[in-house]
Amino acid sequence: MSHRSAPVHRSMLAAGLALLLVAAASPRIAPAPAELPQTPPVDVTPQVVALTFPVADPDLEVSFVDDFLYLRGGGSRLHAATDVMAPKHRPVHAAVGGTITWAPHDPGRRGWSELGEPPYGWMVSIRGDDGRRYAYVHLNNDTPERGADGRWLDDDRGGIEHAYAPRIVEAIRDRGSATGLRIERGELIGWLGDSGNAKGVAPHLHFEIHVTSDAHGEYRINPFHSLMAAIERGDVPAAEDAPTRTPPEPSPIPYLDVPAGATHTKSILKLTEAGIAFGCTPDRYCPGAPMLRGELAAFLAAAFELDTSASSSRFADVPTGQRFVGEVAAVDTAGLLRGYTNGRFGVHDPLTRAQLATLLVRALQIPATSEPPPFVDVPPGSTHAEAIAAAVDVGLTNGCQDGTRYCGAEAVTRAQIASFLDRGMAWAADRTGTLAEHGTED
């Protein structure tokens, strides 16, 4: 299926849409251009069929393009459908009323999964009251639960109860087939997914419209114009209208790339909930990315509850209006994080682990120790040696790798900074001199 998608723009319809004809009984069809495969047969004439948009809440992370003539099968056949991209488990509704002609389920069939899923994935085919046949392909085949990383599972273990709507499942279980079951327009028929040969592709509904005529047999028409028209009319279902099956509560981890149980996860979550840490995007933390000095200024300003109302700073690379200008000015004034001698703050520069030790010891007023740093890569008397030794003394760090090195020249990561700050703030709060209960692995 197509990886390509674009936001739905209602303005695309404009006046030209009104000129499209509903070709229910056209005496002629326009096949695909001669240079393209002629399989499956299609009519490329733009047509608008009166239908309900099949995917719930199209304004929320739903997109599609006119991919009807895209190639599939290594260029041997046409796509002849529209892929509606949307989040996994989004409800799918019947575009028109009609009767089910095919909702596959055959656990004993050769080449199908042990749960009865065909190679092309779970699907529902409905013969509409208008005579056309509508196919809804790649319905969900995964257990509706999230893994330790916060993502929806992709286990192919969902079964029919998580692919089809309850009425369809009931018909299959009661009489072995849902064929002939009456479905009303807008009725829930299943949940969107990536089953069959859509595995490894972004979740989507592969939506087909088939027409049969005496003159031309069965062929497909382009769903794109009809889908756009449905959105323009506001003929769309809402996710909250879907009955029964409800996916479990969202993961308590707000970041897709922060797995539960990882070394720094507890600190990342604690600082995020406290309004100190934030992600690199709305749903990602980027734990392995270097911590940039501008971001660190924001973390520190929040941790120390500094006044960030300043609209300018003294640094040439942090002018008025730039992101973090208030935070940079605040940490500079407080003496927590200073700029360079050339007048720059280095807002986009990473911070090394050695520099961080000096910063935290100064900011938290951690007392010096007479013990030398216990790492082979931190010679006594070197620039940051005293600070590193003090950080070790109160339990902020045990070093890196096997504990014999500190890796002071390496950039501190966004994950590591969360643990450093968490431990440091805990130490400052109780002044017990030990942070064993907070962990010390970097």
Q: What is the pLDDT along the chain (442 residues), one digit of tens a residue?
A: 333 344 554 444 443 444 344 444 445 889 999 999 999 999 999 999 999 999 999 999 999 999 999 999 889 999 999 999 999 999 999 999 999 999 999 887 888 988 889 999 999 999 999 999 999 999 999 988 888 888 889 999 888 989 999 899 888 888 889 999 999 999 999 999 999 989 888 999 999 999 999 989 999 999 999 999 999 999 998 755 444 553 433 557 888 778 776 788 899 999 999 999 999 888 888 888 899 999 999 999 999 999 999 999 999 999 999 999 999 999 999 999 989 999 999 999 999 999 999 999 998 889 999 999 999 999 988 989 999 999 999 888 888 877 889 999 999 999 999 999 999 888 888 764 433 333 344 5
Contact 128, 241 (CB under 8 A): no
pTM: 0.53
Dihedral (CA of 5, 286, 265, 300) sign: negative
State the Cα–Cα distance between residues 423 and 301, nearest whole angstrom: 17
End residue of a domain, out of 209, 241, 273: 241
Closest CA to 178 of 106, 242, 121: 106
Q: Which domain holds residue 61?
A: 10-241
Structurally, the chain folds into a number of domains equal to: 2
Residue 126 maps to a domain: yes
Beta strands per DSSP E along 91-132: 91-93, 98-102, 122-128
306 in the same domain as 202: no
Residue 256 maps to a domain: no
284 in the same domain as 232: no
Residue 249 maps to a domain: no
Residue 247 maps to a domain: no
Residue 257 maps to a domain: no
Strands 182-183 and 98-102: antiparallel
Residue 37 maps to a domain: yes
Helix axis angle, 385-393 relative to 353-364, nearest 10°? 60
295 in the same domain as 189: no
Residue 250 maps to a domain: no
- Residue 205: strand pairing partners: 84
pLDDT at 403: 82
